[in-house]
Structure 1
Amino acid sequence: MPPKKQTSDEAPSWLQPILKRWDEYFVRIDKMFEIFAKVQETQSTILSKLNKLEEQFLAMDDKECNQNSALYSTLVKFQADARIVNAKSCRVTWVGIEEQDDEAATQLFDVEALKEIIETSGDDELLKDLQDGKISVHRHPKLRTSSLRRRPRIIKIELRNQELRDRLLMHMRAGRLSMTKDFVHSYARKDYTREELEYDRSLRKKAG
């Protein structure tokens, strides 16, 4: 006897435990990023103090500079890392959305898929930013490989600030719409740093 077809949009019973496990996984990820968000709240103050320290350092004579070169290198690296974290805090990474036949068609599809989400969300501020060109969408990496067995490149969506990023992410996680409903393994997440990406991969391995 052939299996019965689903009569509703609900996930089949065999898929529900898997979806539940992934929901728990994303809850753990969000809790982890709550900690990062608290760190980011004080980041502007820290950067301001670092800028003052850098100005004082540059005012030192050559002998003092040589003695404190290690400290200066540390300050520069910290500032660079802080800028990376700030930039990533405004971006969404969309994984598992298949590409179209060529680059132009892929770009058009990505923009329209994002537009569908924002228009459905009813968020006027997000919609205005999209219409004003303040939300950028691109595939990463920018160069498309020619491998037939390649995975689709991830989509990176950049917004003006972290609050808008979080609101868009919430709408994207609410469910797939008509343009992306066939990409059953796709999901949206925050744009990770290298350390966060390694942590995410370790969690995925544990989740199976």
Structure 2
Amino acid sequence: MKKYLFFLISNFLLFFIFPIIRLLSKKFYEKRILPHLINMTCSSKPIQIQKKKIIPNAYGKVLEIGFGSGVNLKLYNGENVEKIYGIDPSQELHVLAYENAKSVDISIDLQIGSAEELPFEDNSFDTVVSTYSLCSIPNPEIALNEISRVLKSSGKFYFAEHGLSSDTRVAKFQNFIEFFYPKISGGCHVNRDILKLINNSELELKVSQSMYLPGTQKFLGFNSWGTAG
């Protein structure tokens, strides 16, 4: 009962309240509501469980794209990480990231920028991490090739993302809401085929798994995670 009540309230907010607020004041919504909504979502228990499957594996010089508010910092193994470079286009999330950075004993370099044009030299990183970021990057194909460029030949790209469902009915709904959902979710596209994007990039997919994330709605919860290089 609690699960269905939660979904009912979530859908009411997603498909009614948030669109109205954004329609009334786009600036207020994107500056005052959206950053905290993203931070709350990325800190949720189901998402954190997924992140724990990949982030502790990061080592050496690390780049995290879509660094956001820095909620992933506590999941890194400080003994294996030399330094973390975080890049994100949101000034509002960077403010939150600086606060979260104070809570960990790891060298961190935060930059405002785009994953489509990474300000780093070729073969710079041992590890690149992306968690729930490929859905909102305007041109994920370019971003993945940029990741391949800055990643060392022996390096690893760890990812945990949500995207296009393997269930035809769910996928149809994801495609249906595409015309408005990105506008209320910070550019999140729920109908991107994550594994296909990686396979079509200059990266080589090594290991991957997919499933519906427990406790989430199917149109948002089809997750893929793994390693490429």
Q: Which of 1 and 2 has higher RCO (CA within 8 Å, sep 6+)? A: 1
Q: TM-score, structure 2 length as denominator?
A: 0.24
Structure with the larger helix share: 1
Q: TM-score, structure 1 length as denominator?
A: 0.26
